[in-house]
Amino acid sequence: MNTETAPLESRDWTRRDALKGIGATLGVAAFAKALAPLTEWTQDLSVDQFLQKHYKELSPMDLAIVLARLEKETKEQYGADVSIKDYKAQPGVKFGYALNLSICIGCRKCAEACHIENNHDRPSAQSYIRVFEMQKGSLDMEKGNAHYDHPVPQKDKFYMPVQCHHCDHPPCVSVCPVEATWKEPDGIVVVDYNWCIGCRYCEAACPYHARRFNWTKPQIPAEEINPDQSYLSNRIRPQGVMEKCTFCLHRTRNGKLPACLEACPTGARVFGNLLDPNSEIRKVLAEKRVFVLKEELGLKPNFFYFFDV
Amino acid sequence: MIAITTRKIAFVVSCLCFAAVLLAGVRDHVAAPSDAPSQTIISNAPLHPVIIRPGPETPRILTTQTNYAGEIARASCSSCHTTTTPNRNTASSAQLLKFHQGMTYAHGNQSCLNCHNETDYDSLRLANGSSLPYADVMKLCGQCHGPQLRDYEMGLHGGMNGYWDRTRGPRTRNNCVDCHDPHNPAYPVVQPVLPPKDRIAVPRKSEHGSVKLCEKTAASICNVLSSLHPTLFA
């Protein structure tokens, strides 16, 4: 008996010990890796925000709590007292927008108004509107130049502002892997900024280049922040999410005109309810030579361009 | 003979109640709002007004004199023009020897007196010769610019502010002369604001300067690239 047990007590490492050790090491490493995202947890991301449900699954009570939290976070991070509301679509309303290319002079006042109204990042001069300077004789926006910096209008050019067309068949909505963007009953395509994962598929899918990505945390001085905000539109977006034109739903769902229209010095923009036969937008469709951009894609945009003559 | 007991009455009443509850449920279900596309709703709510910004006040010219209160005296147009003879042939301030010098005039080849009233210089003149207060200037413009007036009346010309939904609030609209100088009506040339800086559309000159890139690449590839990325080659 003694001769059999002695070697067992005094033996060196066996293969079984080595395998156990390797297994344990791998296990610890895998566990550490699994928890690694926690080390990247930033102060900007609260636990409540991390656990927040999709906008459409929020009960009125949940939503009230979320809005109050967002207001508090804006105060903490930007030092501004803001009011964040949630405005619902009105029944019997479908929004449409038309732009008179005969009148637009390319001054980019609309883009500036959007920048201010929608609390865009100041250093990147972000805006949902891009104004293309176009050679007369072509309607190909891909050949337009958005970076002109000379007095306008130039004689041989025309100017075509492009923003979200709020398509009836929005490709940006179809491609979203997490359903963070959808079309509302009044036709507005919106984003739940707290549900978006920032994959930018929608940006690639949009043929109008209408979506923007927040590469950085938006920087806005407290005194420049527009305090009239809503959850689905102009509240300050977090870093790493998509954003887009919402037809200023915090204004238009309250009956007001969008900021870009009010800023237009030439009156090139017409906004209204497509379901109201007496609205200005319906008169454009009835009386003017109207076209939509990239009609061949079949996306059925609710943004129209027209000419005077 | 069926004896009517309280138990039987209770049974019949409870059956009736149950049927009533069922029927009410069915009716509610039928009347529930459907998910069908919303139909046109024409509101009969009273509409808030459309306020058209008023035309200019009757002009008053600053003089070198002061009044009893020490303020600079202002003279009406007619205070000078009643002493001069109207000249139908004057079509530009450049033709005048005194007054109105330096005014830019670029509005067709019209006589001053097509719009200014030679019998009362404190008012305007319609084509039929009748007098028109300055505040109603849009009527004067509309005589020649019919398509613009038509579009304006439909809400398709001219800037505005306020509410698209006039059941909720009023709208303010610009007057013709808010945007167009009557003597030089073409909209002025302006410097654009807020050039975009976003990454997609910004030509990165240091790396992709169009000349540099085209020098390095064969012309055919360069053409393809520039059609794919027009902004880089702008």
Which chain B residues touch A265 with a CB distance below 8 Å? 159, 179
Q: Of the ranges A127-136, B18-27, B103-112, which one carries the lowest mean pLDDT score? A: B18-27
CB A118 within 8 A of CB A128: yes
Which ipTM did the prediction report? 0.83
CA torsion, ordered A115, A119, A121, A127, to nearest 10 deg? -30
Question: How far is it, in rounded angstroms, from Cα A299 to Cα B230?
Answer: 23
Condensed to tens digits (0 to 9), the pLDDT of residues B143-178 reads: 999 999 999 999 999 999 999 999 999 999 999 999
Q: Provide the CA B31 distance to its chain's centre, in angstroms.
A: 42
CB A183 within 8 A of CB A173: yes
Cα of B27 to nearest chain A Cα, Å: 23
Condensed to tens digits (0 to 9), the pLDDT of residues A232-274 reads: 999 999 999 999 999 999 999 999 999 999 999 999 999 999 9
Which chain B residues touch A279 with a CB distance below 8 Å? 164
More reliable by pLDDT, A288 or A42: A288
- The amino acid at residue A16 is R
pTM of the model: 0.78
A300 touches chain B (CB under 8 A): no
Label residues B127-136 b or e (16+ Cβ within 10 Å = b).
eeeeebebee
Cα of A60 to nearest chain B Cα, Å: 21
Decide if B196 and A270 are in contact by the 8 Å CB cutoff: no
pLDDT of residue B7: 67
Condensed to tens digits (0 to 9), the pLDDT of residues A62-106 reads: 999 999 999 999 999 999 999 999 999 999 999 999 999 999 999
Question: CA nearest B173 in A: which residue?
Answer: A267
Question: How far is it, in rounded angstroms, from Cα A150 to Cα B195?
Answer: 11
pLDDT of residue B206: 47
**B124-125 and A269-273 strand pairing:** unpaired
Mutate to test the interface with A, among B34, B157, B165 (most CBs of A within 10 A): B165
pLDDT of residue B93: 84
A256 touches chain B (CB under 8 A): yes
pLDDT of residue B207: 46
In this complex, the residue of A149, A151, A264 whose CB is nearest that of residue B190 is: A151
Cα of A78 to nearest chain B Cα, Å: 22
Question: How far is it, in rounded angstroms, from Cα A254 to Cα A89?
Answer: 10
A95-307 maps to CATH 3.20.19.10: no
pLDDT of residue A308: 87
More reliable by pLDDT, B64 or A67: A67
More reliable by pLDDT, B215 or B196: B196
Tally A–B CB contacts below 8 A: 142
Question: How far is it, in rounded angstroms, from Cα A65 to Cα A73?
Answer: 12
pLDDT of residue B230: 59
In this complex, the residue of B39, B40, B163 whose CB is nearest that of residue A256 is: B163
pLDDT of residue B42: 53
* Phi, psi angles (nearest 5°) of residue B118: -70, -20
CB B124 within 8 A of CB B137: yes
Kindly write down the DSSP assignment for every residue of B82-138, as one continuous string: TTS---TT--SGGG-SSSSTT----SSS--GGGTB-TT-TTSEE-TTS-EE-GGGHH
Confidence of residue B222 (pLDDT cuts 50, 70, 90): low
Q: Of the ranges A118-127, B31-40, B86-95, which one carries the lowest mean pLDDT score? A: B31-40
- Find residues 258-287 of chain A whose CB sits inside 8 Å of chain B: 261-262, 264-267, 270-273, 275-280, 283-284, 287
Predicted confidence (pLDDT) at residue A35 exceeds the cutoff of 80: yes
A38: three-class secondary structure by DSSP: helix
Cα of A274 to nearest chain B Cα, Å: 9
For chain A, the average pLDDT equals 93
Which chain A residues touch B194 with a CB distance below 8 Å? 108, 111-112, 115, 125, 127
The first and second tokens of residue A56, run together, are 């459409």
Predicted confidence (pLDDT) at residue B14 exceeds the cutoff of 80: no
Average pLDDT of the segment spanning A289-300: 95
**B124-125 and B131-132 strand pairing:** antiparallel
Condensed to tens digits (0 to 9), the pLDDT of residues A161-181 reads: 999 999 999 999 999 999 999
Predicted confidence (pLDDT) at residue B10 exceeds the cutoff of 70: no
Confidence of residue B227 (pLDDT cuts 50, 70, 90): low
CA distances from A66 to A49, A70, A72, B26 (A): 8, 6, 10, 38
Predicted confidence (pLDDT) at residue B204 exceeds the cutoff of 70: no
Which chain A residues touch B195 with a CB distance below 8 Å? 108, 125, 147, 149
